[in-house]
Amino acid sequence: MTPVQPAVRPAAPVALSTASVYPEPTAAAFELAAELGYDGVELMVWSDPVSQDVAAVARLADRYGVPVLAVHAPCLAVTQRVWNSDPIVRIRRSVAAAATLEARTVVIHPPFRWQRRYARQFADEVARAGEHVDVALAVENMFPVVRSGVRTVPYSPGFDPTAVGHAHYTLDLSHTAAAGTDALAMLDRMGAGLTHVHLADGSGAARDEHLVPGRGTQPCAEVCERLTGSGFGGVVVVEVSTRRCRTRYDRTAMLAESLLFARLHLQPTAGARRMPKPARSSR
């Protein structure tokens, strides 16, 4: 009888953040994702007008055959007026964009400390914003800011969303490096709520570096392997900084290296095979 082979779960899809091609525009991310073989993109909504135009993004997805798998809400310090100055409106527009683009996840940061009214509303809004369109709002871990040797936390109530508790989380490995946080412990605290991963690396310096995975101190390989072993059902997004690349060739090489790293360490296995027993000697 032929032995039954254990089922192998497909590897998690790997998407490219459109922020990874900066300073090139959103369209370049779709082009490079298609060229390199990414499974999709995470749309960063920011100052690029195309990123704010859902119809234009849909046309890019159709043109290149690259789906939008997640939307990153405009919640950076430099995108506070993208779409609307009201952060609640920005969340709702992000959810609507994700639903239109058939993306399952919206990535959102915790509120800034000066956004007091928003901070009071945040948890409730995140809990209900996507419930009618089946979009998960995944709150991302952040990091303190160090200036002139002074360490401050610009987020309310803090940079670790698990301290508050949300249904869905985004684990960012560049942010764990900048925060000096144990990434594997963070993964464990997120537990079944871990919906989305930003795959990058960091040296441990007190700044957000977004290095190519494997070039820093974070356990990027182990995180990927644990995702596969746990049956992770979300998306892994390469979110690396290529802004210092002088040519498209250099940028492409970094994004290809990052994709190869992700594919290698997310590769599922059917378990270790037993070595055959040696034949007994007839002597």
CATH code, domain with 96: 3.20.20.150
Which residues fall within 8 angstroms of residue 13, CB to CB, at 6 or more apart?
Answer: 39, 40, 69, 235, 236
Q: What is the pLDDT of residues 67-101, one digit of tens each?
A: 999 999 999 888 989 999 999 999 999 999 999 99
Which residues fall within 8 angstroms of residue 144, CB to CB, at 6 or more apart?
Answer: 151, 152, 153, 154, 159, 178, 179, 206
The verdict on residue 1 lying in a domain is no
Q: What is the pLDDT of residues 164-200, one digit of tens each?
A: 999 999 999 999 999 999 999 999 999 999 999 999 9
* DSSP letter, residue 55: H
Count of domains for the chain: 1
Query: What pLDDT is stored for residue 273 in this prediction?
Result: 35
The verdict on residue 196 lying in a domain is yes
**Partners of residue 151 on adjacent β-strands:** 146
For residues 201 and 173, give the distance between their C-alpha atoms in angstroms, rounded to a whole number: 6
φ, ψ for residue 114 (rounded to 5)? -75, -10
For residues 259 and 230, give the distance between their C-alpha atoms in angstroms, rounded to a whole number: 21
The verdict on residue 2 lying in a domain is no
In the chain, the largest separation of any two C-alpha atoms, in whole Å, equals: 86
Residue 7's pLDDT band, with cuts at 50, 70 and 90, is low
Question: 65 or 281: whose pLDDT is higher?
Answer: 65
- Kindly report which listed range (140-154, 213-227, 267-281) carries the lowest average pLDDT score: 267-281
Residue 6's pLDDT band, with cuts at 50, 70 and 90, is low
Task: Name the burial class of residue 247, with classes exposed (0-12), middle (13-18) and buried (19+) by CB atoms within 10 angstroms of its CB.
Answer: exposed
> Span 233-249, mean pLDDT?
97
The verdict on residue 3 lying in a domain is no
CB 181 within 8 A of CB 220: no
φ, ψ for residue 142 (rounded to 5)? -120, -150
pTM over 0.85: yes
Task: Find the domain containing 19 and state its range.
Answer: 14-266
* Cα of 22 vs its chain's centroid, Å: 16
Tokens for 97?
Answer: 């964009």
Nearest partner of 249 among 36, 48, 53, judged by Cα: 36
Average pLDDT over the chain, rounded to an integer: 91
What is the distance in angstroms between the CA of the first residue and the CA of the last residue of the chain?
30
Nearest partner of 118 among 105, 108, 130, judged by Cα: 108
SS3 call for 182: coil
Which residues fall within 8 angstroms of residue 192, CB to CB, at 6 or more apart?
Answer: none
Burial 152-175 (b: 16+ CB within 10 A, else e): ebebbeebbbbeeebebbbbbbbb
SS3 call for 67: coil
For residues 72 and 194, give the distance between their C-alpha atoms in angstroms, rounded to a whole number: 16
Query: What pLDDT is stored for residue 183 in this prediction?
Result: 97
Tokens for 115?
Answer: 């956004």
Q: What percent of the chain has pLDDT over 90?
A: 82
Give the sign of the dihedral formed by CA 175, CA 180, CA 184, CA 188: negative
The verdict on residue 282 lying in a domain is no
The verdict on residue 5 lying in a domain is no
The verdict on residue 69 lying in a domain is yes
The verdict on residue 249 lying in a domain is yes
Rg of the Cα atoms in the chain: 20
